[in-house]
Amino acid sequence: MEDAIVAGNLRKRFKTHESLRGKKVFLASLRRRSFYKQALDDVSFSVPRGQIVALLGKNGSGKSTLTKIMTGILFPDSGEIRVLGLNPWKDRIRLAMEIGVVLGAHGQLFWNLPASDAFEYNRRIYEVPDSTYQKRLSYFVDRLELGDVYKRQVRQMSLGEQMKCNFVSSCLHMPKIVFLDEPTIGVDLPSKLALRETISEMQRRFGTTFILTTHIVEDIAIAERVIMLDKGKKIFDDTKENLEKLFGDKRYITLKFDGRAPSKVKMGKVLEREANVLKLEVPHRAIKSRAMMDLLDSKRVMDYSVSEVDLSHILSKLYRKLDRRDRTGGRYAT
């Protein structure tokens, strides 16, 4: 079976302006400079069917542009893109029957009507038979714990409830691919967890492919693969585990001392120090070293725990490296 998405050498740029500074308000706003921003620069990848891919990057890295090109909202300046074997721009109508899109900032619910009306609207547009619709609605209401929420007016819902309803609205026709653009921004924790669980289940049960654009680290937890963009370029495309290994070959070790924690230790980097607790970052291989064993065996150490470096830390390190590269004009090296 062909891949869900095949992208080759995608490029897209936008024309934008900046005002030149000046003392007088009127004159300053008259003078401005046009320039092009390269939103996507030679991006290539393919996504097999049934995969959950997290599309990561800082603000302005090109994630949303890429999503909009894959869904046919925008088209690239050059390069090739096939989604389910179709050209998203030229075959937009055919493709739209097979995809679902949740755009975080722009919902598709009717503000003054219950979400159920938007569901019914989509049912009619996508010509979903009533019996099928009822089963699917029941499934989503149950999984996302919507209860009677979807029968309320949208303007009376919290952001999390709106997002869940947006998700349902986009999936009622059981699309083969679902694009989620920042779906959990501003959403409460229970709603986020419910969304993530539903995504995982849809992938397992229906083989749905998900492309999840985010910069929320916890959203990546359900993804099998991470594609990372920076300034329009693809800088990483591999599994989540390899991302952790690439930048996260470290471990955290937290030590609780009898009495005051020592001011110096021979290994690792001190991350936190409280009265009798020390948190260190050490290389992974150092965990089983003689020096570490000696430290842990020490009578002064009453308790200890070892944990992996979390993804948020990995990403923040990566972003700091990218920022340093930008400031020094150097190349990024992994």
Binding positions for another protein, rule: CB under 8 A: 14, 25-26, 29-30, 39, 59-65, 68, 71-75, 92-94, 96-97, 99, 101, 103, 105-108, 110-113, 117, 121, 124-126, 153
HSE at residue 117, side-chain half, CA atoms within 13 A, is 9
Strands 177-181 and 269-273: unpaired
Alpha helices in 5-129 (DSSP H): 25-30, 63-70, 92-96, 115-125
Nearer to another protein, 29 or 138 (CB): 29
Distance CA 249, CA 283 (A): 6
Instruction: In angstroms, give the least distance from the CB of 163 to another protein.
Output: 13
HSE at residue 16, side-chain half, CA atoms within 13 A, is 7
Nearer to another protein, 121 or 257 (CB): 121
Distance CA 188, CA 155 (A): 17
267 phi/psi in degrees, rounded to 5: -130, 155
Instruction: In angstroms, give the least distance from the CB of 320 to another protein.
Output: 20
Instruction: In angstroms, give the least distance from the CB of 305 to another protein.
Output: 39
Instruction: In angstroms, give the least distance from the CB of 107 to another protein.
Output: 7
Distance CA 166, CA 142 (A): 15
Instruction: In angstroms, give the least distance from the CB of 239 to another protein.
Output: 25
Nearer to another protein, 83 or 141 (CB): 83
Find all residues with CB under 8 Å of 213, minimum gap 6, and list them: 54, 55, 63, 64, 66, 67, 179, 180, 181, 182
Nearer to another protein, 90 or 245 (CB): 90
Nearer to another protein, 105 or 333 (CB): 105
Find all residues with CB under 8 Å of 158, minimum gap 6, and list them: 188, 191
332 phi/psi in degrees, rounded to 5: -80, 135
Instruction: In angstroms, give the least distance from the CB of 228 to another protein.
Output: 14
Burial class of residue 127, CB neighbours in 10 A (0-12, 13-18, 19+)? exposed
Nearer to another protein, 156 or 239 (CB): 156
Instruction: In angstroms, give the least distance from the CB of 302 to another protein.
Output: 48
Strand, helix or coil for residue 170 = helix
Instruction: In angstroms, give the least distance from the CB of 87 to another protein.
Output: 14
Distance CA 293, CA 272 (A): 21
Nearer to another protein, 63 or 225 (CB): 63
Nearer to another protein, 49 or 94 (CB): 94
